[in-house]
Amino acid sequence: MTNGVDIRTKNLKKPVDVAEYLFTRLHQIGIRSVHGLPGDFNLVALDYLPKAGLKWVGNCNELNAAYAADGYARVKGIGAIITTFGVGELSAVNGIAGAYSEHVPVVHIVGCPSTISQRSGLLLHHTLGNGDFNVFADMSASISCAVAKLNDPAEIAAQIDHALRECWLRSRPVYIMFPTDMVEKKVEGERLESPIDLSEPSNDADREDYVVDVVLKYLHAAQRPVLLVDACAIRHRVLEEVHDLIDKTQLPVFVTPMGKGAINETHPSYGGVYAGSASAPGVKDMVETSDLVISIGALKSDFNTAGFSYRLSQLTSIDLHSDHCIVRYSEYPGVRMKGVLRKVVERLDMSQIKVLPPPRFPEMGTTPIGDTPSSEAVIKQNWFWARIDQFLREHDIVVTETGTANFGIWATRFPANVMSLNQTLWGSIGWAVGACQGAALATQDMAGPEKARRTILFEGDGSLQLTAQEVSTMIRHKLDVIVFVICNDGYTIERFIHGMDEAYNDIATWQYKDLPAVFGGNEDTVKSYVVKTRAEVEKLLADKDFNDRKGLRFVELYMPREDAPKSLMLTAEASAKRNAMTE
């Protein structure tokens, strides 16, 4: 130590504080807003956010902040949340686990006690009182693709760079433990002049070429090939390659529920949503009678497959994933789909490709068959989801909550370039409110307040009651959001699984339209609406002010208690049967 400066610090070419280094790196990889809550172990670090060009969001609780960081990442590419040790980070764990489950890259930074306190085993607040300061990091390790404990200034810069690269490439959360006495330690700032390399590693050329040759062999021989695009095609950034393949071949293409929005639904090759037995008849028939299904980024969960009701043979399947490929029964570990797709597009022989037209999709806004046209009728699920496509615009962001909205949106045909956010695999009710806030902020960060995309949330009344506070964050940050609260008296998906009339599926009746005022909205920033009939829906959706005004539009939308999309009923029935299995 020389005059208070250690030799390591003295030898740094461009010394910067650790907090400045970390937040500058966040800015460099595309983050502009950071979600979270303040706590005494992260306060000093938060002072560094403005200098790095980052905006502090400030959420109502850590769970909502985690949901919001998830939604932000789905739109912006990557998100970040800052919590405090123990009490704060554990509140966020459910949201971080959902991001891990659904392949969403979120950087979780946890302000923690100093390394001195940790070494001394002090009996500090926010601890379990046993001197174990690693217990919460150990909990998060299973829902993080990398854990970085920033305890040694000599290693911190490399740890940060490695964690952020892993977060991006593996598209999953990382956990960064940030002690209070490391915030102002110096690290080498010269590293910031070189951006983190976020490019995907190349496949082994020979292995990749072999897989491409095998794929092309079966594709050229197939008489009825189709493409099936799922969530990991979105998360692992291969949609450009997928669209190149569709444009070149014109092969019929379908999406799964989790893949909704991955494909331009106005494309002539688009055939609809495939979810096994819950699919439209024409979709089900074409996919299940295909002699080659090329599945891209599949996550074959129960709700994504309508209760594991796929009827596809592995002998007629090719599955492309972010870290391996499967052709029939042969698996190729370490061969990533991005490189394979590129070469398939380059090398396929169009003279050998057989193309059948996709099933005819109903015209946008078509009234469902057998449905009453009465404008004074109550708003039914099947009518609403077939009607809402006329309200949507190009480039909208549509967020649907677990429940009727997640299933109903399958029947909605999107205009071009609509982004769809759902949490079908993890399925934590209340997620969509926070995710909507994060998504709306992300588009505002990308395009500015005037050019930000509309963000539209379809939320159940039961789910809203879990995370309603985040409406106040939407108002606080002047986000351009439309919220449809589906008021159908409780937990509909649970009712259809078990206990249709049981009290545990009931909720308290709220005056939903008054919530924006409670949360700080006024006539300039918020407008509330109540709609109970089809005529009122039609009037609202045709209202120019409703469509074009900025700020929050909050709609109470009433539907019958025991009404649900058919796809939800089928999936719930399968879930109930699975829950009742004894062996």
The pLDDT of residue 443 is above 60: yes
Percent of the chain predicted with pLDDT > 90: 94
Residue 240 annotated in active site = no
Q: In the prediction, which pLDDT does 3 show?
A: 55
Catalytic residue (one of 494, 505, 551, 556): 494
The pLDDT of residue 364 is above 60: no
Across 105-130, b (16+ Cβ under 10 Å) vs e yields bbbbbbbbbbbebbeeeeebebbeee
Residue 40 annotated in active site = yes
Catalytic residue (one of 30, 94, 126, 498): 126
Mean pLDDT of 24-42: 98
- Where residue 360 falls among pLDDT bands split at 50, 70, 90? confident
Catalytic residue (one of 20, 459, 461, 470): 461
Q: What is the DSSP string of 357-370?
A: PPPPPPPTTPPPTT
What would the pLDDT profile of 221-236 be if each residue is shown by its tens digit? 999 999 999 999 999 9
The pLDDT of residue 29 is above 60: yes
Q: In the prediction, which pLDDT does 367 show?
A: 54
476: three-class secondary structure by DSSP: helix
Question: With the CA atoms of 558, 562, 568 and 571 taken in that order, what torsion angle do they form, in degrees rounded to the nearest 10?
Answer: 160
Q: In the prediction, which pLDDT does 370 show?
A: 47
Burial label for 478, CB within 10 Å (0-12, 13-18, 19+), is middle
- Which run of H or E residues covers position 205? helix 205-221
Mean pLDDT of 188-216: 98
Beta strand pairing status for 15-17 and 186-188? antiparallel
- Where residue 6 falls among pLDDT bands split at 50, 70, 90? confident
Percent of the chain predicted with pLDDT > 70: 97
Answer for the pair 555, 486: CB distance below 8 angstroms, yes or no.
Answer: no
What DSSP character marks residue 458?
E
The pLDDT of residue 214 is above 90: yes
Catalytic residue (one of 20, 36, 59, 62): 62
Residue 450 annotated in active site = no
Residue 494 annotated in active site = yes
Catalytic residue (one of 121, 125, 138, 376): 125
Q: In the prediction, which pLDDT does 366 show?
A: 54
Q: In the prediction, which pLDDT does 301 show?
A: 93
Mean pLDDT of 31-59: 98
The pLDDT of residue 369 is above 60: no
Residue 125 annotated in active site = yes
Distance CA(562)–CA(73), nearest Å, equals 35
- Where residue 583 falls among pLDDT bands split at 50, 70, 90? confident
The pLDDT of residue 368 is above 80: no
Catalytic residue (one of 98, 408, 427, 551): 427
Angle between the 205-221 and 337-347 helix axes, to the nearest 10 degrees?
50
Q: In the prediction, which pLDDT does 465 show?
A: 97
Q: In the prediction, which pLDDT does 371 show?
A: 55
Distance CA(101)–CA(233), nearest Å, equals 15
The pLDDT of residue 372 is above 70: no
Q: Which residue has the higher pLDDT, 212 or 363?
A: 212
Half-sphere exposure of 148 (CA within 13 A, CB side): 25
What would the pLDDT profile of 494-534 be if each residue is shown by its tens digit? 999 999 999 999 999 999 999 999 999 999 999 999 999 99
Catalytic residue (one of 241, 488, 505, 551): 488
Catalytic residue (one of 40, 138, 204, 562): 40
Q: What is the mean pLDDT of the chain?
A: 95
- Where residue 299 falls among pLDDT bands split at 50, 70, 90? very high
Distance CA(529)–CA(484), nearest Å, equals 9
E runs forming strands in 69-136:
79-84, 106-112
Distance CA(222)–CA(292), nearest Å, equals 6
The pLDDT of residue 442 is above 80: yes
Contacts of 565 (CB under 8 A, 6+ apart): 381, 382, 385, 404, 407, 408, 410, 411
Catalytic residue (one of 39, 307, 462, 490): 490
The pLDDT of residue 37 is above 70: yes
The pLDDT of residue 363 is above 80: no
Distance CA(491)–CA(500), nearest Å, equals 9
